[in-house]
Structure 1
Amino acid sequence: MLLLLALLIVPGLGLVGVQGFRGFFDTSANVADVGGSKITRQEYDTLLNEQLERMREMFGGAVDMAAVDTPVLRQILLDNLIQQRLLAHEARRQHLSASDDAVRQTILGIPALEPLRKADGSIDTDKYRELLATQGMTPEQFDARVRQGLAIAQISDSIEASALMPKSSAQQVANLSMQQREVRELAFHPLDYSVKVNPTAEQLTQYYAEHQQEFATPETATVNYAILSADLIATTLTPSEDELKQAYQDNLAAYQTPKQVRASHILITVPKEEAKADDAKTDVKTAASATAKAHATAREKAEAKAEALLAQLRQQPAQFAEIARKESQDPGSATRGGDLGYFGPGMMVKPFEEAAFKLKLNEISGLVQSDFGYHIIQVTDIKPALTQSFDKVKETLSNDLKKQQAAQRFAAAAEQFSNIVYEQTDSLTPAAEKFNLVVQQATLTKHTTPALSAVPALANPKFLAAVFDHEVLQGKHNTAAIDVGDNTLIAAHVTEHKPASVLPFEAVKQSVQQKVVLLQAAELARQAGAEKLASLRQSKSIEGFSPVLKLSRAGIQGLTPKAVSAIFKADAQQLPHYVSAILDGGIYAIYRVESLTTPPAIEPQRLTALQQQLAQLTGQLELNAYLASLRTRSKVKIYTVEKAAASE
């Protein structure tokens, strides 16, 4: 998850720049100082909020945002801000910039601006200004930001592009990744030694004292809650017959299937006309004239061939498919006897479509000319236009109309619901009675997730923040009506609140004992395994080992990464070789590496692709080293970022 966050954050800073969207002149609170240039608290908080919001949009309720917003995430974000600031300083020192044309092309290539394009391809400047205004920027400020991002990119791109990876190194990596080893396993399980363990009372109390957080209960709130949604309102509505018939007429096109035809064709292509000068001495105009003559000749030949085929088909219409397989120059349909399947209006080029829709069943057209060449068309089936009856779509119409009417009424209902919840703050009953809602009960924690809640709204981060708000908990009043999306509001009233607490020793004594027994048993298993390993290195015995496993880094046969790492670190020059690894659960495992198989030479194209991937990785490592050197020689001062307010 942290790696994913890092990947999301880094691209997000590319064009945003190092100053953020807001807080450029705000130096009242800073999170870092890079060579005298301040990274403000407001700038940092804004970018953090943007990253968290991006996560919400990408994953919705599938990610617990409280768990994502961690000190590690905050440090990743701050480190990237510092790196961007260092690169900005270096770009200025090296007098790097970007041309107006480069800035313009970069902005025009931003996907978010596609909805702003006019029919002629230009950007609607008024809407462009409005979009930037929502981010607190003018076009001039955004231009400057993009220019700075392009200048910074010149440094990083030049370093990454200059990285080289020899083929010999790529071949060595390929050999290592494809190498196969034969091993046997001998495991020492802690459970086998647990009967030998009898921890003392002092050991139990000591473990409890040192690991109290393992026995803590989270903060909880038991709430009454009510949900108002457009879907709920829809269940109370019954559209009239007249409304349904009017909706049917208004949307008649949605219930109509246009006429479709199934056709086969034979295509004789005509090369496209392109005028090119063969060398510097050839006049372009002369070349164009010569090319036009050649193109006319090619078209005449294609037309003559098509006419000959048409004459043959007039005599033998049943041979259409066979002739299409032999003569058609459309690679997509020729193998199918020219069959194009069914198509409706607007699915073919205009001349072809007009001709096909005029033909009767099994009728063969004359020559039809298009940009592709000359077509001979035969219609093999016709599906007439169909209109679904009112009775057949009545239920669908009713459901759609309910949703439309509910969405229209939801806005007014939401306002009333919010007002009642706010004004009659001691109970949700008045609001529930007004809208015929059921007041339900649930026990929540700050980290309630969709996996732990059958009602998605209960896991919404905004709702949980409202429930555990200090004023709500202390004042014993309703939360505000929280918009959780999809035309849904939820409000809650806390009936019981339990702060986080550590359970007393007596209440968790049995759990403590189980943990201590497992730890001590794991230590006994380790000791026994270590003794066995020492003796095996002398005896080379295979007694007690599993059957042979054939492993590669791509096929690990169900072994854990720790085991695979130990096995492939083993010295392959002296076989058999014994290695050990402590696996999850305290299992002590010994592996007997018996043989290795060198892979065959990798194919040249795969080797080239691997070489390029390794060069990219090397470039990234070199860029990281360069950034580290910049940081070393720059005066960087970091303040705490733990308390940055990023929940709202």
Structure 2
Amino acid sequence: MISFFRRIFSSKLGLFLTFCFVGLIAIAFATADVSSSGTFGGVTGSGTAAKVGDSKLTSAELSQSVNNAFRGEQRENTGLDLKSFINGGGFDDVLERLINSFAIADFGTKYGMAAGKRLVDGEIASIQTFQGADGQFSEENFRRALQQQGINETQLRDDFTRNLLADQLLTAAGFGAAVPQKLVVPYASLLLESREGQIATIPSVAFIDNSKPAKAAVEAFYAKNASRYTIPERRTIRYALFEKSRFNDKIKPTEKEIAGYYNLNKVRYSASETRNLNQVIVPTEAAAKALAAKINGGTTLEQAAQSVGLSAAEVGSVSKTAFAGSASQAVANAAFAVRSGAIAGPAQSALGWHIIKVTDIKQTPARSLDQVRTEIVNELTREKIEEAMAELTVRMEDEFADGATLGDIAKAEQLKIESTPALLANGQNPNDQNYRPIPEMQRILPIAFALEEDSDPQVVEIIPGQQYAAVDVSEITESAPPPLAQIEQLVTRDYMLDQGSKKAKAVADKIAKAVSGGTSLSKAVVDAGVKLPGIQKISSTRADLARQSQQGQVPAPLSLMFSMAQGTAKSLAAPRDQGWFVVTLDKLNRGDASKREDLLNATKTQFKQVFGNEYTAQFINAMKADIGVERNEKTLTALKNQLLGGN
């Protein structure tokens, strides 16, 4: 019951929905171009890992999804290797997520639901990665992102379609979940519960034999605990940075281009007039004339507007053409026919009848080509440099796809190739703790660690439109523990701690047994016959425990105390063989939330989320049962073995 309660009040609520459905967008960027076959096959692009309704999930798609999910997790947890990820359930999680998404889409299609092309287009255009500097959809960015992730447009659209169908089907699945009050009160009361206890620490170092351990014993310990010292996959990255500024001295517009630009934009450089205007709009001509009469009689535009329950609106500085477009030609003609400070109108537009006051007039004389030459040269130079930069990146990508190496491109474009040491996915160098990667590596690393061993070099955008890097992975060092000789001192220390921890456990178990039998903790510690640190008193409420849990800061002994019966003692291992704790629960003060409406309402809201998630999960199961799911266990097992490096 307590563990369930903790899940309710933890920050991971709703992860089921997030994992299954928000993640579909991530899947779209994690899957490669695949083909399917009508029959189950081997672990290849044509093999079918599962049939979901009328759809087929290929082993290639599943393999790529697992690899990309692993890369994402590895960026957050650099100590993670593919074997641990798969054995920890990563493979099965990705498989289930893909099956769910296929099932939802097939179920929706079966019963007449659809996600139209325009809707999918809108979803794609809203992705920031596909937008240019102006915030609008960029075809160039779109194609580049697809190429970098190794997917095609059809695959991407299929994934977005499945996601949109999931949004339509699942929104109401968990809506309006009812929670009985009798269920809410006991769990809400748990938050008010407080506990008091004690902790005795039995450190491993108190039991360490200072004599040097036998070499064979250290080697055996290392072999058994090799995963503890495993260094995650490292990659040596070669890169060549290049910026838009490389074209600054190479690109200059010609006189013909300057003259052509001037002639094309003559309106911009011709004489112009803008006016600052305030206006009032009324529905009828009679009302407008009456308002104009008041103003002509000495009332200000603002006062006249207020007298009829309106307010004067400030149009701001506007040209005649622009004002005609927002009002009407008649209104613009009237506003631009009077002097500064005068009142114009009434004049009619589709909105009504306008009374306008001209507050200021600004005349801009025509400018000759010589007068605007510098402005035009700057604008043309900027445009031509941007075009040259775009052409360069596209040409590089094409040449890489045709087999060119990073060295070939660097030589042709006079770029300097730099190389990193073998780095972890987070940019750290395990052989040099003082190493700091260049700032640009923040954008390079995710791409470099997503590349397969035989992938083509990639062009990575560092600063949109300004700076890029041509990137290649020259060496991949698989995740593995270092030779014992390199870390023998560390392993020897850990071995000695391990031996001390075993002795500390025996003492901790003895103390815990004595306390559970009625002996006080202080006496049991003294009776142990070993010099130990002082006993620590602890107290907390379950609400404090829940808050600390959300921040990931709950000490293990405190957490253990909230899962014990009053008057008992339990032993608990400290991290990394540092020792053992003996935790006692001396006093338990139960809470009563029956009068706390705020707490009851918050608890009910959290329960509704949990119930809603459960209803949604059951709905998905029902959809899978309706359309049918067939897993090819032979292919799945072979694929999992292949990912683990087996046969």
Normalised to the residue count of structure 2, the TM-score between the two structures is: 0.58
Partner of 2:388: 405
Q: 1:45–1:645: 8 Å Cα contact kept in structure 2?
A: no
Question: How many angstroms does 1:170 deviate by?
Answer: 8.6
Partner of 1:617: 613
Gaps of 5+ in 1: 15-19, 116-133, 269-298, 470-478
Question: How many angstroms does 1:34 deviate by?
Answer: 5.8
Task: State the one-letter code of the partner of 1:110.
Answer: V
Question: How many angstroms does 1:405 deviate by?
Answer: 3.5
Deviations 1:423-479 (A, max 9, x none): xx9xx4x8655543334343335857599742548636468857x55xxxxxxxxx9
Partner of 1:197: 208
Task: State the one-letter code of the partner of 1:77.
Answer: V
Q: 1:548 to 1:417 in 2, by over 3 A?
A: closer
Q: 2:512–2:569: 8 Å Cα contact kept in structure 1?
A: no
Deviations 1:314-342 (A, max 9, x none): 33444x4455567545xxxx5xx644656
Partner of 1:17: none
Deviations 1:529-573 (A, max 9, x none): 9749948999899995468779457744967257686677678xx
Deviations 1:179-209 (A, max 9, x none): 456667866667x663553477256444312
1:560 to 553, 563, 577: 553
Q: 1:205 to 1:311 in 2, by over 3 A?
A: same
1:527 to 489, 508, 511: 508
1:165 to 169, 178, 198: 178
Please state if 1:214 is matched with 2:193: no
Partner of 1:642: 640
Q: After TM superposition, list the pairs within 5 Å mapping 1:267-346 onto structure 2.
A: 267-268=281-282, 307-318=289-300, 320-322=301-303, 324=305, 327-329=308-310, 334=311, 338-339=313-314
Q: 1:263–1:341: 8 Å Cα contact kept in structure 2?
A: yes
Q: 1:187–1:590: 8 Å Cα contact kept in structure 2?
A: yes
Q: What SS class does the counterpart of residue 443 from structure 1 fall into?
A: coil
Partner of 1:364: 343
Partner of 2:95: 78
Q: 1:566–1:580: 8 Å Cα contact kept in structure 2?
A: no
Please state if 1:46 is matched with 2:61: yes
| Cα RMSD (Å) | 6.5
How many correspondences in the alignment?
Answer: 544
1:442 to 420, 423, 434: 420
Q: What SS class does the counterpart of residue 240 from structure 2 fall into?
A: strand
Q: 1:44–1:78: 8 Å Cα contact kept in structure 2?
A: no
Q: What SS class does the counterpart of residue 201 from structure 1 fall into?
A: coil
Q: 1:221–1:444: 8 Å Cα contact kept in structure 2?
A: yes
Question: How many angstroms does 1:210 deviate by?
Answer: 0.9
Question: How many angstroms does 1:44 deviate by?
Answer: 3.5
2:41 to 3, 9, 28: 28
Please state if 1:239 is matched with 2:252: yes
Q: 1:32–1:38: 8 Å Cα contact kept in structure 2?
A: no
Gaps of 5+ in 2: 1-11, 126-151, 430-435, 523-533
Q: 1:136 to 1:530 in 2, by over 3 A?
A: same
Question: How many angstroms does 1:160 deviate by?
Answer: 2.3
Q: 1:401 to 1:497 in 2, by over 3 A?
A: closer
Task: State the one-letter code of the partner of 2:35.
Answer: R
Q: What SS class does the counterpart of residue 597 from structure 2 fall into?
A: coil
Q: 1:6 to 1:317 in 2, by over 3 A?
A: same
Please state if 1:459 is matched with 2:445: yes
2-side partners of 1:405 and 1:595: how far apart? 72
Deviations 1:598-640 (A, max 9, x none): 4742499989976864553242243356479789998874532
Q: 1:367–1:374: 8 Å Cα contact kept in structure 2?
A: yes
Q: 1:406 to 1:246 in 2, by over 3 A?
A: farther
1-side partners of 2:460 and 2:344: how far apart? 60
Q: 1:226–1:432: 8 Å Cα contact kept in structure 2?
A: no
2-side partners of 1:383 and 1:553: how far apart? 68
2-side partners of 1:35 and 1:310: how far apart? 74
Normalised to the residue count of structure 1, the TM-score between the two structures is: 0.58
2:491 to 512, 522, 528: 512
Deviations 1:279-319 (A, max 9, x none): xxxxxxxxxxxxxxxxxxxx66xx6555544433333444x
Q: 2:276–2:358: 8 Å Cα contact kept in structure 1?
A: yes
Q: 1:261–1:382: 8 Å Cα contact kept in structure 2?
A: yes
Partner of 1:227: 240
1-side partners of 2:219 and 2:182: how far apart? 55
Partner of 2:137: none
Q: What SS class does the counterpart of residue 227 from structure 1 fall into?
A: strand
